[in-house]
């Protein structure tokens, strides 16, 4: 009987492979296009395949290399990170990218034990928000509202 030597690697591999498989399944009907002219299915295919490969590598490693057991789940941090992403999805059309990204960064940052809401963290959140707006909305043309419907735009 084969014994799992590293439970952390085993379960990480299962998660990566599962998310990769989900990305492949969810993007299966989108046209892939080519490397020079990527279609909407190109990214889910590439990301899903990469995640499945990483998951497979982690699963193989879990049987070959001894590792530590799975520790206690940080439920508060997990809830804050998932909640921050849900808040972002809800805020984006209503308040726009600036407010939604700032809320995402600050709420997910609150998952850390060392987090405190001070001027430095606010400055970092605003800097990251500005960088995301410049790169994704202005640079790449991602169709996201900078200010949402709550502002009459």
Is 40 within a domain?
Answer: yes
Mean pLDDT by 10 residues, the chain (153 residues): 86 96 92 86 92 96 89 91 96 94 94 90 94 92 86 68
pLDDT value at position 153? Answer: 58
Task: Please check whether residues 60 and 80 belong to one and the same domain.
Answer: no
Task: Please check whether residues 145 and 103 belong to one and the same domain.
Answer: yes
pLDDT value at position 126? Answer: 95
64, 93, 108 - which closes a domain: 64
Task: Please check whether residues 58 and 97 belong to one and the same domain.
Answer: no
Distance CA 144, CA 12 (A): 32
Structure tokens at 98: 């600036």
> Within 10 A of 55 (CB to CB), how many other CB atoms are there?
20
Query: Does the pTM exceed 0.85?
Result: no
Task: Please check whether residues 38 and 84 belong to one and the same domain.
Answer: no
Overall domain count for the chain: 2
Segment holding 55, helix H or strand E: helix 42-64
Task: Please check whether residues 53 and 109 belong to one and the same domain.
Answer: no
Distance CA 91, CA 148 (A): 8
Domain that holds residue 29: 7-64
pLDDT value at position 100? Answer: 96
145 — alpha (psi -120 to 50), left (phi > 0) or beta? beta
Is 70 within a domain?
Answer: no
pLDDT value at position 124? Answer: 93
Distance CA 100, CA 88 (A): 5
pLDDT value at position 34? Answer: 85
Is 1 within a domain?
Answer: no
42, 64, 86 - which closes a domain: 64
pLDDT value at position 131? Answer: 96
| Residue 84 CB contacts under 8 Å (≥ 6 apart), including other chains | 103, 104, 107, 108, 110, 111
């Amino acid at each position: 009987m084969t014994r799992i030597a590293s439970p952390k690697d085993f379960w990480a591999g299962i998660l990566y492979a599962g998310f990769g498989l989900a990305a492949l399944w969810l993007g299966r009907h989108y046209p892939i296009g080519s490397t020079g002219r990527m279609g909407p299915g190109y990214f889910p295919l590439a990301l899903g395949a990469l995640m499945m490969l990483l998951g497979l590598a982690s699963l193989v490693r879990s049987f070959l290399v001894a590792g530590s057991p799975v520790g206690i789940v940080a439920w508060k941090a997990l809830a804050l990170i998932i909640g921050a992403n849900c808040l972002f999805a809800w805020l984006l059309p209503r308040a726009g990218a600036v407010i939604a990204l700032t809320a995402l960064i600050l709420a997910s940052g609150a998952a850390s034990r060392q987090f405190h809401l001070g001027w430095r963290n606010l400055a970092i959140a605003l800097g990251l928000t500005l960088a995301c707006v410049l790169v994704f909305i202005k640079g790449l043309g991602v169709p996201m509202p900078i200010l949402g419907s709550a502002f009459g735009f």
